[in-house]
Amino acid sequence: MKMMKGIRVYIVIIMSVFCIVGCKVDSKLLRYKDIYSEKPTTIYIVPTIDQAERPNKKITDRSYNNQLDVALHYMPQSLQKPFLSKGYYVIPPLASMEISKRDSMGEAHINDTAMLKHFAEEYGVDAVLFTFIYKWEEDEAGWHVYLEYFLKSTKTYVTLLNTKMKAGKYIPLGFRGTPTLSPRDASLIKNLNLDKPTSQRALLLDLVNNYVLKDLPWNNLTEEFETDIEENARFSCMKYYYDATGVEVYRPMSVEEFDQDCFLLNNAKQ
């Protein structure tokens, strides 16, 4: 088992080197130049916009629909953690939900400048995060989700971050190759009272949210601000997988590849 895990780690390293050599990598200063110049401090997280279709054979499956709904409701809590770790102030999830209901945010649009201006004036928000879940897939190996992230400035209305992610989490296997629970899965089940499939989906969202948003620059009020300007930024369109041994595997993908996998291929795997 240790040898296999070591081989997997080497594969990840080789893939990372290949990506760095063969793909254009922007510095954080270049990728996030507007964040460094605007210095946003307070973030509002719009409730995640779920555009995932429920396949016909699953529409009446209460267990399946409950898994997706509970994982969706876990998103606000998951999204705020990476921002907080980088020193940003985040409108708390419960307050965000109330604001969304009060301000009729059900049809929020990333290019609605009037809405962005409203948040700046009414709540002192510097940037608004929009997240979209486009599609869920599952197979015998694990769970897969397609997401997109937009961070919009309420000052200039420019897009501070736009990332597309095809993410997957494979079922962890025990010593005999049988399905088991990782410590993080077990923690979610215990702390949030989730069943096993829902915990896998929630953890997948947590992993990919953390991966995408922790790439952002530090808040300008922290001592670490601008210490990372020469670091390589992560790619804006990626495949990300958390394999059965707990190793993160990732590589860039084209927007065309993402769109084909997400929007053009059939949903037979769902």
d(CA 240, CA 74): 20
pLDDT tops 50 at residue 115 = yes
Q: Which residues of 248-263 are buried (b: 16+ CB within 10 A; e: fewer)?
A: ebbebbeeeebeebbe
- Does an H or E element contain 68, and which? helix 62-85
DSSP state of 169: E
Task: Tell me the per-residue pLDDT of 152-180, one tens digit each, with 9 for 90 and over.
Answer: 999 999 999 999 999 998 876 666 656 67
SS3 105: helix
Percentage of the chain modeled with pLDDT above 90 = 49
SS3 76: helix
C-alpha dihedral over 6, 7, 12, 13, to 10 degrees?
80
For the segment 117-135, the average pLDDT, to the nearest whole number, is 94
| Residues found in the chain | 270
d(CA 242, CA 249): 6
- Global pTM reads 0.84
Task: Tell me the per-residue pLDDT of 211-256, one tens digit each, with 9 for 90 and over.
Answer: 999 999 999 999 999 999 999 999 999 999 988 777 889 899 999 9
**Tokens read off for 216:** 């952002």
Task: Tell me the per-residue pLDDT of 51-110, one tens digit each, with 9 for 90 and over.
Answer: 988 766 566 678 888 888 888 988 999 999 999 999 999 999 888 878 777 766 555 678
Q: Which residues of 179-213 are buried (b: 16+ CB within 10 A; e: fewer)?
A: eebbebbeebbeeeebeebbbbbbbbbbbbbebbb
